[in-house]
Amino acid sequence: MAVVTTGKSTAITNAVATPRVMNPTGLAGGVVKRSIGFVTLAATDSATSIYRVARLPSNCYVDRIELICLDIGTTGTANVGLYYPTTHTNGGTVIDADAFASAVVINAGAIYSNVDFESGAAAGLITNAEKQLWERAGLTSDPGGEFDLIVQLAADTDAAGTILVRAYYI
């Protein structure tokens, strides 16, 4: 096995460049902000039900997204993704319903989990961590404004319950 010392993150590559390249605040020196929201599920809520929990700037860097809930019944899974706000010209349409998390089981005990990279695809790829939210969402340019962070049922629930989402971003 070889020992290497050449691997550098984008922030370090920029810092040692000649001339030095300023890092975006999302990569170095940024201030972390938090948006928090909770929603209540009814026992009769069915798959594809959408709950808007937070609004994030399209140009932010997502630090982490926490999904927290107690055991909700004996059925039910949830996605965590992005929609345009209902006030947007796209009228609240989907960007990616499971951008961050896909079919997380919400019925097998209490959950306290960082789901930022759970989906392992699209916005949830760890290699997208240094990208702004609009880039992580797979858009070709920043539409500006904000996106709604949503929880969407991937499978029906058979009990009422509350889901809390905390989104940390720069």
CATH of domain 31-169: 2.60.120
- Considering only CA atoms, which of 54, 59, 110 is closest in space to residue 80? 54
Residue 20 reports pLDDT greater than 70: yes
3-class DSSP assignment, residue 67: strand
Beta bridge partners of 165: 37, 67
**Percentage, residues of the chain above pLDDT 90:** 52
Instruction: Give pLDDT, residue 123.
Output: 75
Instruction: Give pLDDT, residue 55.
Output: 95
Instruction: Give pLDDT, residue 4.
Output: 65
Mean pLDDT of 120-137: 84
> Residues with Cβ < 8 Å from 54, sequence gap 6 or more?
35, 36, 37, 148, 149, 165, 167
The per-residue pLDDT for range 37-65, each reduced to its tens digit, is: 999 999 988 899 999 999 999 999 999 99
pTM (two decimals): 0.87
Q: What is the mean pLDDT of the chain?
A: 88
Tell me 30's DSSP state: P
CA dist 57 and 37 (Å) reads: 16
Sequence spans of domains, the chain: 1-29, 31-169
Q: Is the Cβ–Cβ distance between 77 and 103 less than 8 Å?
A: yes
Q: How confident is the model at residue 116 (pLDDT cuts 50, 70, 90)?
A: confident
Query: For residue 29, is it left (φ>0), alpha (ψ between -120 and 50) or beta?
Result: left
